[in-house]
Chain A
Amino acid sequence: MNIDGVTTGIVLDHIKAGKGIKIYNYLHLDKLSCSVAMLQNVKSSKYGKKDIIKIDELIELDYEMLGYIDSNITVNFVKDGRLLKKEHLDLPETLTDIIQCKNPRCITSIEQEIEHVFKLVDREKKTYRCAYCDVEHKEYK
């Protein structure tokens, strides 16, 4: 694992090639003042190609959201230039305010400031259903 350029911070590794930019945007990394590096299409023995994001600061991560976007990501925590710990992500059981229900008949389409909650119903197929109307979320697979 290459943590070059990070003294104290986070390295997101094994991101599916092409999803790096999505995660960059979701985490609002452009708002950070520390150094941030995104590597695209890095050769990987395991996945063929992958993206890597290096952040030279220990920021708060939204694991629910990261796990939903790509559950294969490895999160490496670096302190004083050394790898402190490694965490593997998983598909979260519940998603709160990460995706929106698209069913026009769903109460979430009219109720003010309601949390959009989805439940994982099939881990293998990555199927999430709206907690209110039970309609499956189709956008992301």
Chain B
Amino acid sequence: MEKNFRNLISITDLSIEEIDHLIDVANDIVENPDEYIDICKGKKLATLFFEPSTRTRLSFEAAMLELGGSVLGFAGASSSSAAKGESVSDTVETVGCYADIIAMRHPKEGAPMVASRRTTVPIINAGDGGHFHPTQTLTDLLTIKRKKGELGNITLGLCGDLKFGRTVHSLIEAMLRYDNVKFVLIAPEELRVPEYIREELRKSGADWKEVESMEEVMHELDVLYMTRVQRERFFNEEDYARLKDTYILDLEKLETAKEDLTIMHPLPRVNEISVKVDDDPRACYFYQALCGKHIRMALILNLLGIK
């Protein structure tokens, strides 16, 4: 099938130049909002969420509405045709007749790829199981760029569950493409990054290290990316209880941090960042959600061939 438009299935579908372009457009949206108010008038975004993720879906819908377009879709497999046994291919081929662009989340890995083979409408992967979630990575890159001015020349700390967190793996892979990024991986032994990530770090020649406590490296960091340490990842309750406090960020641990540290978190947070940190000017996780909307606006414009 001939496709006029591209898709975003994996962050590696985008070159560094294309990511730079999306970031430029996202920044222009903030600087010249009037230009974008009606830019997608008459265009429709379909959000096909075969599994619920309210946060991601709202971000996509807000992005399209702010561009003057409209949205349709479903959330949760029980309310959709998938519950009646309809395939991804059939759903997408049908929705392709109604919408100009599709953002899709599915519990099965590779589902957006299947979708992209069956419709000429651009497909955005809004998360496919534990596989990819490229708009989260774009969100993280835009946040770092806006806060630090560039994507290279920083010390990036990643803390918490580095083993199962795909967000962290994608961010490391994306940041490895920039110059002079130092990676500090903060995790208990049980939750360290998988071997393939370690292999990529070795091959890249980047400066990186693995540590078990936040305190010993806090003063070095320009960006601290927090993730949740989940109870179900541990074999026993004792290990969980022993480790969970080590990976909770509070004001005390921030005492040695740089004045301009950027604290990030993909959200939702449970307890891994103390609520008291929210008022600290270094807390950027809600700002990150705003960046998520801006980069999705830029992405929609790009895939629709408008900008």
Contact = CB atoms under 8 A, between A and B. Distances in A.
Given A110-B108, A111-B88, A132-B109, A105 B114 contact: no
In this complex, which of B87, B88, B109, B111 has the most chain A Cβ atoms within 10 angstroms of its Cβ? B109
Nearest to A101: B110
Contact of A131 (B89, B113, B131): B113
15 contacts: A103-B109, A105-B107, A105-B129, A107-B111, A107-B114, A107-B128, A110-B108, A111-B87, A111-B108, A112-B87, A112-B89, A132-B114, A133-B131, A134-B109, A134-B110
Nearest to B88: A111
A130 B87 CA distance: 19
B130 A105 contact: yes
A109 B110 CA distance: 11
Contacts of A109: 108
Classify chain B: how many residues form its interface, as a range. Answer: 10 to 19
Decide if the interface of chain A is mainly helix, strand, loop or mixed: loop
Given A105-B130, A134-B131, A114 B109 contact: no
Classify chain A: how many residues form its interface, as a range. Answer: 10 to 19
Nearest to B86: A112
Contacts of B109: 103, 105-107, 132-135
B169 interface: no
B130 A114 contact: no
In this complex, which of B106, B108, B114, B131 has the most chain A Cβ atoms within 10 angstroms of its Cβ? B108
Interface string B121-133: 0000000111100
Interface in B84-121: 87-89, 106-111, 113-114
A135 B107 CA distance: 16
A105 B113 contact: no
A76 interface: no
Interface of A: 103, 105-112, 114, 130-135
A112 B110 CA distance: 14
A134 B129 CA distance: 12
Nearest to B132: A134
Given A105-B131, A132-B113, A133-B131, 13 more contacts: A105-B109, A105-B129, A106-B110, A107-B88, A107-B111, A107-B114, A110-B108, A111-B108, A111-B114, A114-B114, A131-B113, A132-B109, A133-B109
